[in-house]
A = this chain, B = another copy of it.
């Protein structure tokens, strides 16, 4: 871990865990036809400040020796991948095919004051589907399914993907006769950090009656692993057209997104997402034993993502906080069993025969086996220790009759550099899941 607060850095064995996660995400996203895009790290401050909510957290750039007349560059580091993607879509609309599925895995930056658990640099993995003018609802189901599948393969504790729909909340509040549903949603969004009493008090401040506040809180308590939430909501006796639409949409997403090993999918009507650009489906994700992290994977439907005057580009997507997820797990002991990619260390008999060891290594690499050659011709015992300290499982001894030793078991066998293969699972580092 790094010496600069908020800027996590990983050791090589830890980075192997992150690479494993990134590779897995990429594989799942590409299997589903999501194209990869990277956007530049900087946006104009105009673009960054359009969404007022987090303008305090932006890092702006300045050339260190900018002349007096030059002023600021007018550029800042992006704080998420949604705003840059919206800009990219509008800028390149003429060259993109819609509906456009994209995944994007990049670092983002927020100028937080240093404090425990707040990152100032972190990696996110986003998937979004964007269309021109109109985006059929089944894409909301698709992003939920794809992200659930992606989450399912991660070496992390049990996850709960919580799905809600702002039309359910807004329709319910409107049915109740509430004047400002958006304000109520922002208060309900605090249920994670505040006891229900305090939330009720804030609802009263917004002018809700005690009965209205009770029903708002009763709605927020509904969480079901299937579509039975529809009935539970109906039992509260509120009706509104928008509520009907929202319930039908949410039932479709929850009904079509299966819980799988490692990921429980639930409808959870406490989920509102504070950000006001969401217009329908919303997602959050909790990790068992790590409640204090809040949601590690969030998103939803935004019908007004971007517009260039002639067209609007509605979208739906989810963003996974890779650093938010991994850094605490790595601190708790999640790691890999190697600090190098090498599966084999070729021993060196003496410096004069380095050619021979190099040749063996080349023959192993030619067949896809990551291999390094010992740095110096120490005694073989020391060369074995050298492999052991790096987690390299095999040491190769070049000779007229070559031999290879599995240094974990001690087994040593004759082997041909053009034939021998380690078991497939030894070709790459193993992830060692954390004890929690």
Contacts and interface: CB of A to CB of B under 8 A. Distances in A.
B99 A375 contact: yes
Nearest to A48: B64
Interface residues of A, number: 75
A36 B19 contact: yes
B136 A376 contact: yes
A182 interface: no
A177 B382 CA distance: 47
A35 B340 contact: yes
Interface in A14-71: 15-16, 19, 30-42, 44-45, 49, 55-66
A375 B136 contact: yes
Interface in A142-186: none
A138 interface: yes
Contacts of A91: 2-3
B38 A9 contact: yes
Contact of A95 (B11, B32, B372): B11
B136 A40 contact: no
A121 interface: yes
Given A56-B64, A76-B64, A12 B35 contact: yes
B121 A31 contact: no
A427 B169 CA distance: 44
Contacts of A389: 97
A12 B45 contact: no
A245 interface: no
A107 interface: yes
A311 B199 CA distance: 58
A345 to B, nearest CB: 8
A92 interface: yes
Given A31-B368, A32-B365, A34-B341, 18 more contacts: A2-B91, A4-B44, A7-B40, A12-B36, A12-B102, A15-B35, A15-B37, A16-B36, A19-B36, A31-B369, A31-B370, A33-B370, A35-B341, A41-B41, A55-B65, A97-B386, A99-B375, A101-B372
9 contacts: A4-B42, A7-B40, A9-B39, A9-B88, A19-B36, A31-B370, A41-B109, A63-B111, A97-B390
